[in-house]
A and B are shown apart, each in its own frame.
Chain A
Amino acid sequence: MSVELQHPMNPQKTPDEAARGRFVSGIRSLILNDLAADMKAAYDRRAAPAYERAHGRPPQTSAEAHKALRGDPAFNIYSAMRVQAQKMVWASVADSVEREAGRLNAAAQAAGGKVQLNPALAVPKNVGAIEVHLMPGSYTRGGDSLEAGAVYDRGLAVFSMGLMGANLDDIGLSMSRYIALRYPDFRPQRILDTGTTIGHNTLPWKQTYPEAEVIAIDAAPGGLVYGAARAAMQGQEVTFMQMCADRLDYPDASFDLVWSSMFLHELSKKQRASALAEAWRVLRPGGLMLHMELPPNAEMSAFDGFYLDWDSWYNEEPYYKGYRDEIPLENCVKAGFAAADCFQFVVPSIGIYGEQAIADMVASDAAEAVGQATTGRLAEGVMWFGFGAWKR
């Protein structure tokens, strides 16, 4: 199903645009459900046995599962269609963004919003020079205009098939609710979201901790300008700053919570290590670093690992597999956190299962039982994986 964004930046689509967006959401559902199941069946029936005959053992890693499947008809059709569907996501919203540029600008100016750009910042290659997710122009499309943010917001609404919430904030809502219930004594006064894009998963933290000062940073200017207006339109006071997560312009011990969602896998190994170290540096004692991310390959079967790593080879996510080959908790320790203070967990989608499901997870301590049954994209339902660490 397609999503209607619940804020004033929602496109006023023509009937043809609505039909195109609906088609893309629908065909993505066909690909990610039906064709993915066909590919798994082909893997079990043909690809893995053939690999085992050739190597004396079945595929054991994501890369080996990929090697086993390359050339299989089910892999070919799944992959070719998924690449094209991804291109269609962005194409399906481009016309409305261009046509509504004037309306969006006027609405953004009227809404206000707090944003501070840094024209001197050198935007890293992974943000502006790679067409991440096959997104034309990447995150710097249109410079500091609203274009990149509008394309991302509208495109994600088509892409998500309703699984990321009405305002694409299900990850933030689910994770912030989990933290509030799991750690009721934790009351952050200052929160930093790194790699915020348009702030869609920042706002839930302000909603959960309304007394806190919330700052959202990103290296790309356009998403910040859009995100600031989007937040203001929803009555949320969040400050958006142009800044890199691996070089924070904040003093030591200046935040209680450093958060990110679907961000670390878009950084190079070196940038990622620096970002985690910076999070440790700017946290106050008693503060929490928390990241929602893709689950690591170590927690998944070879096929499920390949299924996620597909994006690294075919969806312009060059750092995705390298990130997933790492062990998140080891990275936390390297950043300065004590091993005993690190944790990982899975949280049910609050939009699909409701708040009670998260409360039940907290009550049973089941959230931290991370494993193959709960972390894969093929797992039953939608579960968000996260990891974090407390600074003592």
Chain B
Amino acid sequence: MSEVPRPDDTPPGLYDEAGNARFFADPAMDRFVAVVMNMAQEMWVQEERLLALEEARGAAPVDREAKLKAFLDRVFAPIRGA
């Protein structure tokens, strides 16, 4: 991929040397956010596996969408109202 054109009025300092958007004073924080989200996703995959196992053993079916919303609200509560 070649260099991406930007809007004419783009402020300076929005991207790192590789052209990736950066938002925090410490660039490591941008990467850390991505790690946290990936970890939460993998944890959710395990959660669904557990639900499937429990349901196969006779537990009542669980609404995945509602369960996921509760999961996300719980995991990401500390960043709300920033």
A23 and B65 contact, Cβ closer than 8 Å, known pairs A30-B76, A125-B2 = no
Interface size on A, residues (CB 8 A): 50
- Specify which of A22, A27, A30, A83 is in contact with B21 (CB 8 Å cutoff): A83
- Closest A residue to B48 by beta carbon equals A19
Q: Is the CB of A131 within 8 A of B1?
A: yes
Q: Is the CB of A318 within 8 A of B5?
A: yes
- Specify which of A19, A63, A79, A125 is in contact with B23 (CB 8 Å cutoff): A79
- Specify which of A22, A81, A318 is in contact with B37 (CB 8 Å cutoff): A81
Residue A316 CB within 8 A of the other chain: yes
Within 8 A of A (CB), among B1-37: 1-2, 4-11, 14, 21, 23-24, 29-30, 33-34, 37
Residue B60 CB within 8 A of the other chain: no
Q: What are 30 residue pairs bridging A and B, where the CB atoms are less than 8 Å apart in the complex?
A: A19-B44, A19-B45, A23-B40, A26-B65, A30-B73, A34-B80, A35-B79, A41-B81, A42-B82, A73-B82, A76-B23, A76-B82, A77-B33, A79-B23, A80-B23, A81-B37, A88-B37, A88-B41, A125-B2, A129-B2, A130-B2, A130-B4, A138-B1, A313-B10, A314-B21, A318-B4, A318-B7, A320-B7, A321-B7, A322-B8
Bits for A102-126, please: 1 = Cβ < 8 Å to B, else 0: 0000000000000000000000010
The 5 A-B residue pairs with the shortest CB-CB distance in the complex, in nearest-first order: A19-B48, A321-B7, A74-B82, A80-B33, A73-B82
- Closest B residue to A125 by beta carbon equals B2
Q: Is the CB of A22 within 8 A of B64?
A: yes
Q: Is the CB of B68 within 8 A of A22?
A: yes
Q: Is the CB of A313 within 8 A of B6?
A: yes
Question: Which of A38, A84, A129, A321 is packed against the most chain B CB atoms within 10 Å?
Answer: A84
Residue B52 CB within 8 A of the other chain: yes
Size range of the interface on B?
35 or more
B73 → A minimal CB distance (Å):
8
Residues of A within 8 A of B62 (CB): none
A36 → B minimal CB distance (Å):
12
CA A316 to CA B8, docked complex, whole Å: 14
CA A289 to CA B73, docked complex, whole Å: 45
CA A44 to CA B20, docked complex, whole Å: 28
- Closest B residue to A316 by beta carbon equals B4
B33 → A minimal CB distance (Å):
4
Residues of A within 8 A of B34 (CB): 80, 84, 87
Having A66-B11, A130-B5, A319-B5, one finds 10 other A-B pairs with CB under 8 Å, namely: A15-B48, A22-B64, A35-B80, A38-B81, A41-B81, A80-B23, A84-B33, A125-B2, A316-B4, A318-B4
Residue A75 CB within 8 A of the other chain: yes
Within 8 A of A (CB), among B32-74: 33-34, 37-38, 40-41, 44-45, 47-49, 52, 64-65, 68-69, 72-73
Q: Is the CB of A67 within 8 A of B11?
A: yes
CA A372 to CA B18, docked complex, whole Å: 37
Q: Is the CB of B4 within 8 A of A16?
A: no
Residues of A within 8 A of B48 (CB): 15-16, 18-19, 22
Residues of A within 8 A of B29 (CB): 80
- Specify which of B2, B9, B49, B64 is in contact with A63 (CB 8 Å cutoff): B9
Q: Is the CB of B7 within 8 A of A84?
A: no
- Closest A residue to B49 by beta carbon equals A15
A264 → B minimal CB distance (Å):
16
CA A316 to CA B47, docked complex, whole Å: 33
Q: Is the CB of A76 within 8 A of B24?
A: yes
- Specify which of A26, A130, A319 is in contact with B69 (CB 8 Å cutoff): A26
Residue A24 CB within 8 A of the other chain: yes
Residues of B within 8 A of A67 (CB): 11
